Amino acid sequence: MSTCLVAGSTGLVGSFLVKKLADNGNKVFALTRKEEFKDSDEVKHIKVDFDSLNLSSDQIEAIDDVFICLGTTIKKAGSKENFKKIDVDYCLSVANQSLNLGAKNLSLVTSIGSDKNSKNFYLSTKGLVEYEISRLSYESISIYRPGLLIGSREEARPGEFIGQLIQPLLIDPFLGGAVKKYKSIKAEVLADFISDHSGKSQGINFYDYRDFGR
């Protein structure tokens, strides 16, 4: 059994991940910006303000694994500056403070095509957070690069909803070989894979559909 911290615990992947970790007998501290949830023996929800994050040992005991599933859209963030704050600054803050709480294994969800040198702002931002996280002194860092995530979100994303209907049926069947990594993936399937692979390999490890798709 491990003690885990999940940031982005109410998101599409994070919500499945919290459930999976708890079902497997782990103790989970789930960070949330929303109103308090009902705690259980396995899961404790902690309401936080990521702009002034302070993960103290008064609230959270020593942890083994940290899972970062934070993410947004530029439309929801309101600007590129706010998007970068959420997808880079918030993630780094969680990662650094988790080290202080004893975490040895870190898992991060980004996106297929992530590259800090990309001319695409979204992909360059995802690549930047990968780069910064990779410089931290974790024993094991696992970075997951999914394509389109399949599942129901709390907030409406019309374009993504349409994509979820079209890609699995009309696009995925033609994605093989080198482009197989661009296939869509069910959020629950990805969450299962993430929970099972934390700390499994030392150093920095990258995963895409070719690893976690089934």
Active site residues: 122, 126
HSE of 195 in the Cβ direction (CA atoms, 13 Å)?
Answer: 27
CB 22 within 8 A of CB 43: yes
